[in-house]
Structure 1
Amino acid sequence: MTDSTDNQTNNVPAASTTADTIAALEAEPITLAKFWKGPRNRRDQVVIRLSAYRGAAFVDVRLFYCDDKGKSRPGPKGVALVTSLLPQLTCALLKAEDKARELGLIPDAAEGE
């Protein structure tokens, strides 16, 4: 499983206000990507979502685990940042990717994934 998204519906109205969007995200976060934590770990998934809590929008990068019934559940490990910090997070991740490539830590086969 690499970089897939949920088939959930986007419940955010097309012409909504910020308050409407945040209310919709509080009711149902939008899953943007899911992928396994590592090639040998098929129990934990990294899940990236847009969500909201108490009137503030967040980007949430969290480890999900599989419960006893096989359902994916959010775990305590992860980070939630206000969406205004998303450009800084993106910049930092791009720098990390560039450095990892420079150091040969990302094999050529992983390009484009």
Structure 2
Amino acid sequence: MDQMSTPRVNCGLLNAYVGRNVMVIGKVQQLRGDVALIDADGNITASLNRDSHLLVGNAAQLIGKVNPDLSLKVLTSMDLGSNVDMSLCRSVVEVAQKLKPMFESEPSQQH
């Protein structure tokens, strides 16, 4: 498994991934400067990088590190537009969590 796996998570799973890189797909609720509020089955505060170009109301894919306060420091982001099936995204997170060995490496293997 890749040393820098990015498990797919939602808001409710962030506490299990503090200090690790994760992937979140959610709907952009609010943008304020370099901070976004993302709805991924609960609100996540995301600190964006200067390459982030997101639009309120659109879905976004964020890859970032989970901070101790359960916010996300975004490393990369992608605007996915307005035609994203969020229930399908939720199902993918659920399957990835049930089949963790297929989708992520153990934290001790990451650098």
Structure ranking higher in helix proportion: 1
Q: TM-score range by the shorter chain?
A: 0.3 to 0.5
Give 1 or 2 for the bigger CA radius of gyration: 1
Q: Normalising to structure 2: TM-score of the pair?
A: 0.33
